[in-house]
Amino acid sequence: MNTKQNIESGFRVINLVLTDSNFSRIQNVTFDNPEIKQKTDLEISVGINDNQIVVTEKVNFSQIFNEIEEVKCSITMYALFEKVGESKIEDLERFGKINGAAIIFPYIREHLTNLSVKAGLSPIILPPANFIN
């Protein structure tokens, strides 16, 4: 069965840019200890200008063991979206905070994983995030 579907959204990604990336680690990072604590903070901001939406997403990650911050990372990316045609989504800010943020997040996850491997660590893989809450 050959079914042709036109997958089209009311929004188009114009640009996706890494704007800031900072990574640091101590010399002797602890591996595989159940007392390791990982903390992830997520910040999302949305700007709207006519039919364009700018979504900036920042992730701060740290790994702490025995009250020592062994790994620290901050990654910021932004995406520019354009409203195309008659979108059914009228609340552009809601689109940015939910859909826009969900589009950017996998790129941040991938960047952090690559940085951790290049730093000689086990891959740091952030869990998927639910942007609806």
pLDDT in tens, 84-93: 877 666 688 9
Domains along the sequence of the chain with CATH: 12-119 (3.10.420.10)
Rounded to 5°, the CA angle 35-40-45 comes to 170
pLDDT of residue 50: 84
114 three-class SS: helix
Q: In what helix (H) or strand (E) does residue 83 lie, and over which residues does it extend?
A: strand 68-83
What is the amino acid identity at position 61?
Answer: F
For residue 43, the tally of other CB atoms under 10 A from its CB is 11
pLDDT in tens, 31-70: 889 999 999 999 999 999 888 999 999 999 999 999 999 9
Q: In angstroms, rounded to a whole number, what is the distance separating the alpha carbons of residues 119 and 113?
A: 10
pTM assigned to the model: 0.88
pLDDT of residue 75: 98
37: left (phi over 0), alpha (psi -120 to 50) or beta: beta
Identify whether the C-beta of residue 57 lies closer than 8 Å to the C-beta of residue 42: yes
